[in-house]
Every structure is written in structure tokens, then in C-alpha cells.
Structure 1
């Protein structure tokens, strides 16, 4: 178990910490890179060399989000405590995001034994005329990418949730 950069809260106990093993684009990101690059290339070829700046902006729109996710995931360190799930930047040590451990973990496994654990926050609602409508600016799900032994970690989290 790696030593996390994350500072624990009083009374909090570390269950697991680690970092992503092999950071690669997801299935949707591969399609985005492929089809976006083809579309921008065709548009650039059709419009001529006078549209270099729009073509560069097109590549930035297509590749930028994928490269940003890969870069931030590569720098991430994960910690699972008995109370919360935390993602921090291992270079700066700043906590990027965290969620209480009350949310269930959804796991997707890859063929190489690595997995992704996704924690969806429980939605908060506002009662308007008897309807429970979701609040604005809900926290986004946290995904722990390329985690070794993701099934074992999910079981560890389920045991911690059962104790509480």
C-alpha cells in the first residue's frame, strides 16, 4: 500500500491507497480522437491552408479534453478511508475531490485485471409542489481509473459501508 498525500480527518482510518496503473483513453475517447481528427483533417483539406487557425482550434477541441483527462489521471493518487473516497494530485498534494463513502461503487473490469471504480453521489432534491426535483450543481461522480484488483477493493468498501 502506497503512502497517500491525503491528510486524513480526525478519527478517519485509511483502508486503501494507490494510483492508476496504466492510463489509456477509454472507448469513447478513442472514437472521439479518431472521428474528430478525421473530420478536422477533411475540413482543413477542403478549405485550404488559409484556415490553419480554425483547424488548430478544431484539433484542440477534439484532443484537449482527452489529453487533459489522461494528464490529470496520471498525476492522481487515490485513497479510500472508512468515511470517504478521495482523489488528490500526487505532485501538488491538493485534494481534487472527495465523496462520502455512503455512495455505492460501480466497477468495470478490463481484460488486463485493472478496473475502474465509479462513485455516484446520492442526488439531493428540492421539494417543489410535491415533486422532488434534483438540485443544481450536484457533485460529479468520482472515478478511480486503472485500479489493480478493483473487485477486491469494492468488497473492502462494501465491508466498510456495512460496519457504518
Structure 2
């Protein structure tokens, strides 16, 4: 993919860009997946194992709970597959790799300092603050995708340092 031209504002300087190296579940995704699994066991598996007939309402509650827990995880994984991260001297921008359009962006000045969890291969996840999984930015155009950090970033330590350097106003 070539660098999307419309991802940058006038006068903005690009410091780094890349894309997730693999489809990885973030910590919040694992919690949500586990909640859905427990919900499914409690509402569907246990009653069926006890040979108790399930009413239509019980099936709706069971399957609806699974969908409520697992569909957002799948949507975030699908959205991450087609995203490119741009780190500029002012913002972090998430760009659609296929269309080149900006999905969402957040100004560096509004974020807490970056914290990286680095894997052995050098890639990792960059969160803002103390590994909190709260949404950093939300845009109506990207309803299914909440920015919860930069996931599966190559050279995560270097990218974290670039973001911190830009936040300090040295960019």
C-alpha cells in the first residue's frame, strides 16, 4: 500500500506509518470473548446438558448474549485487518488501507503517555495510559471500530518513543 495522501493535514509531518502485523485479540477482546463463552455455557449448554427443554425465549437470550459479546470482537478484528496507522507530529490517524480514507484520528495532546507491551519479535501493542482499554477516539463513520490502542505494531518500542517525543513537542 502506498501512503494515503488524504491522511495528513496541511503542514503536518509524517513520523511513522505501518499496519498491524497479525490479527491479534487485544486484552479487552479476550475478556469479551471469555464473557460470551461463559454466557453461552450458562444459558445454553448447562440447560441442554440437564435435558431441560429450552423455550424460545431462553434460546433468544442465549444466542443474543453470544452475539452481543462476540460480534463486536469480530468487527474489531475485521476492521484491524484493513487499517494502516499513521503517526504524525500532531495526531495518530487510522486510515483504511484499501480506500485510503481516514477512519478516525486523535490529537496527541489529548492522549496520556504511550505505554508499550513488546513481544520477543519486537512487535507489540501501544496503549495510552496504564493499559486501560477505554476508547481513545470514536467517530460515527467508524461505528464498528473503536481505537483502543495500536495493536500488533512492528517495532513497537520505536513507535512508542516517537509518539512520546511528538507529545513532548520535540517533533
Give TM-score, length-normalised by structure 1. 0.73
Give the SS at the match of 1:145: strand
**Structure with more of its chain in strand, by fraction:** 1
* Stretches of structure 2 lacking an aligned partner (at least 5 in a row): 130-135, 139-146
Partners in 2 of 1:10 and 1:22 — Cα distance? 32
List runs of 5+ in structure 1 lacking aligned partners: 121-137
Establish whether residue 59 from structure 1 lines up as the match of residue 58 from structure 2: no
SS in 1 for 2:149: strand
Residues 80, 27 of structure 1: alpha-carbon distance in 2 compared, 3 angstrom cutoff: closer
Aligned-residue RMSD, C-alpha: 2.6
> Structure 1 residues 5, 48: closer, same or farther in 2, change over 3 A?
farther
Q: How far apart, CA to CA, are the structure 1 residues paired with 2:148 and 2:31?
A: 23
> How far did 1:35 drift?
4.5
- The match for 1:43 is 43
Equivalent residue number for residue 84 of structure 1 = 91
Which among 120, 126, 133 is matched to residue 117 of structure 1? Answer: 126
Structure 2 CA distance for partners of 1:6 and 1:57, relative to 1, 3 Å: farther
Q: Which runs of 4+ in 1 moved over 4 A?
A: 138-142
Matches within 5 A, 1:1-164: 3-5=2-4, 7=6, 8-45=8-45, 46=47, 48-51=53-56, 52-102=59-109, 103=111, 104-119=113-128, 139=137, 143-160=149-166, 161-163=168-170
Do the aligned partners of residues 81 and 28 (structure 1) sit closer, same or farther apart at CA in structure 2, a change above 3 Å counting? closer
Aligned-pair CA distance for 1:68: 1.4
Shift of the 73–41 alpha-carbon distance from structure 1 to 2, 3 Å rule, reads same
Post-superposition offset of 1:92: 3.1
Q: Aligned with 1:163: secondary structure?
A: coil
- Separation in 2, partners of 1:92, 1:152: 27
**Paired positions, count:** 146
Measure the CA separation in 2 of the matches of 1:111 and 1:28: 21
* Residue pair 1:4, 1:79 contacting (<8 A) in 2 also: no
What do residues 4-55 of structure 1 show as CA deviations (whole Å, max 9, x unaligned)? 3252211111111111011221344334324422431342241535433333
